[in-house]
Amino acid sequence: MIDIALKTAEAGYLTRRLVESTQNLAIISSDCGTSTSVLFVENDLPLIKRVYGRYLAQDISGKKGEIILTHNTLLLEKEIKIIQENKITEIWAFSPLNCQLVEGICQKCYGLDLSKPGETVAMGTAVGVIAAQSLGEPGTQLTMRTFHRGGITGDEDITQGLPKVKQIFDNVKPNKEEKSILAKANGKIISIEEKIIKQKSDEGKEIIYPLGKKKKVRINLGDMVKKGEKLTGGKIDLEEYLEIVGRDKCQEYIKEEVRKVYDDQGIDINEKHIEIFARQMLSKTEIIDSGGSDYLTSEIVNYQQLVKVNKSLIDNKNPPISFKTIVSSLKDLASYPDSFLAGISFQNTLKSLVNYSLYQPVDYLRGCKENLIAGQLVPVGSGFKERERFQRKTTRKE
């Protein structure tokens, strides 16, 4: 009884964080113009399931080299059949992960509206809230139990269910004993001793990994290991992983870990919903060197915004900004959104109020929550069209 009561509360709070960290995300453009896409192959999900409802990023050729599907095609039943008939095993498709829009997602990166078969997602669809509902609602069905295996050391990270989802979305940092040691480069393991592992990288550099207490080594002498691979048991520190493998692989990792939790419990969630959260978690960057821009060192800037500024700096032959992507937990995202009304109404109101009054005292009322608070139409769904009409009218008057 107590377990169930706790679970409802926990799952409810998860939903709240999910919704509040993406409530401002809607479909606001037909095409962001991104050239980056994701390579889909078969994993424990069939390839056709993974790409259904996405826009193709590259042409697909048949056995004789003839083009059977052209890029920018939305993959629906008919196209999926062609893919199956030609036994295609790799597909480059667009994904919300790479959408370049600063304040929303574009139709091309999102693709099909999953609730309306056969239709591209409509402008103004609140894809953030939909993603949050899709993950939050079945949250009550996830187990609350944490399992430990591997004797007293508790070396393997086999946390499952709700605690695992929380661990990832909250970006819980493992402590020193729990943390897994990750390979910093591609290369061969040349020595495993009691206290250290040595690796010779492909570039010929020798890397030494000190082993902490009681760590279970997961590799063998002579193994070729890849950058980011676990050398010992334990939990992955997302920040460290991001630094080693980079943005794309880290997004992929977040997505897969969350998907597997739901999948293990028999809950089928479309990958697209989880991609929205992976993108949000890596949406903030910290400025290291402002280059030719007006930003300040250590200022926190939206990643998509920064890419845009950097492109124009390079185009105008100015020095680009150097930056570091940071991992934000859903709580961070919900606590400090661009809107101060949304921020102060999440939790820690007083602290938040002081912060916003100092650093960000203007609210542009772009998201759902802040508009609800202000008693206005939300800028999604029919409210999106209404707002567009209003904007057109006011620009004409001007």
Give the binding site for Zn ion (CB under 5 A).
32, 99, 106, 109
**Which of 32, 60 has the CB closer to Zn ion?**
32
**Which of 108, 164 has the CB closer to Zn ion?**
108
The CB-of-325 to Zn ion minimum distance in angstroms stands at 18
The CB-of-379 to Zn ion minimum distance in angstroms stands at 18
Give the 3-state secondary structure of residue 134: helix
**Which of 107, 339 has the CB closer to Zn ion?**
107
**Which of 276, 344 has the CB closer to Zn ion?**
276
Cα–Cα dist 218/35, whole Å: 38
Cα–Cα dist 154/233, whole Å: 9
The CB-of-122 to Zn ion minimum distance in angstroms stands at 15
For 110-130, give the DSSP string. H-B-TTSTT-BPPTT--HHHH
Neighbouring CB atoms inside 10 A of 142's CB total: 23
Distances (CA, A) of 326 to 182, 362, 394: 18, 24, 39
Residues shown for the chain: 398
Strands 27-29 and 105-106: parallel
The CB-of-127 to Zn ion minimum distance in angstroms stands at 11
The CB-of-321 to Zn ion minimum distance in angstroms stands at 22
**Which of 31, 243 has the CB closer to Zn ion?**
31
The CB-of-118 to Zn ion minimum distance in angstroms stands at 21
**Which of 123, 162 has the CB closer to Zn ion?**
123
Please list the alpha-helical segments (H only) found in the chain.
Answer: 2-22, 47-51, 77-85, 107-110, 127-136, 161-169, 238-245, 247-264, 271-281, 303-315, 330-335, 340-344, 349-359, 368-373, 382-397
278 CB-side CA count, 13 A: 25
